[in-house]
Amino acid sequence: MCLLGKSSMGRALAAWLMVASAFAAPAATPRDIVESSVTRVVTVLQDAQAGRLSVGRQRTEIKRIAADLFDFEEMARLTLPRDWAVRTPEERAEFVRLLTQLLERTYIRKIESYAGERIVYLGANVDGDYATVRSKVTSSRRHLETPVDYRLSYMTDGHWRVYDVLIDGVSFVSTYRSEFGRVIQRSSYQALVETLSQRVTAAAVNSTRGAPASPHTMP
């Protein structure tokens, strides 16, 4: 004799389906996340170049992809090893916003420069809550190979996110950390914020004109 009513049976079935789907669909690996995100960015750029996407739509799509891929707050914290702890929540939010815009444009310019080249994924190393996904960009025209490595950490929300990118062995985080440190030491934290704001504005103007901006050089 069945002791469950229709509503109880419905809830039990729904719960069983949730458990079954969790086992049927394994969590995305670090390599899965990086590879799918890079593929999405390349597709958006190709669609924009072919006229299938407007500039505004292209930026919106890439920002959405970047927000899923990168842990911008952690990247901001790592670039300010001494100053992050003493900044107010408002100051941190402002810094994360500026660095996010800067990093988005830097990463997009790098991906754009690889247009038409072959991206090969070499594997991933996972060590607890941290991982490195190794890839390389091969150019048949120039006979060059450029290593591009992504460093990820496992977040409390159950997702892997990138907190650093190394292109040809050069770390985004380390480069910015050195440059930001020099600006703060030479002047002040506020001077750094003003400089970042100016760079973000200049990058936006350059992008509308089609002129490249230097990704790592602080003015």
What is the spatial distance between Cα 85 and Cα 189, in angstroms, rounded to a whole number? 13
Average pLDDT on 91-99 reads 96
At 58, the pLDDT band (50, 70, 90 cuts) reads confident
| Backbone torsions φ then ψ of 133, nearest 5 degrees | -105, 120
Q: What is the CATH number of domain 70-209?
A: 3.10.450.710
For 134-181, write each residue's pLDDT tens digit.
Answer: 999 988 777 789 999 999 999 878 899 999 999 999 999 999 999 999
Q: What percent of the chain has pLDDT over 70?
A: 79
CA dihedral 211→214→74→180, nearest 10 degrees, is: -140
| Residue 54 tokens, joined | 């407007």
Q: How many CB atoms lie within 10 A of CB 13?
A: 11
Burial of 154 (0-12, 13-18, 19+ CB in 10 A): middle
**pTM for the predicted model, two decimal places:** 0.78
What is the spatial distance between Cα 166 and Cα 148, in angstroms, rounded to a whole number? 6
| Domain locations in the chain as residue ranges | 70-209
For 168-192, write each residue's pLDDT tens digit.
Answer: 999 999 999 999 999 999 999 999 9
Whether 97 contacts 72, CB under 8 Å: no
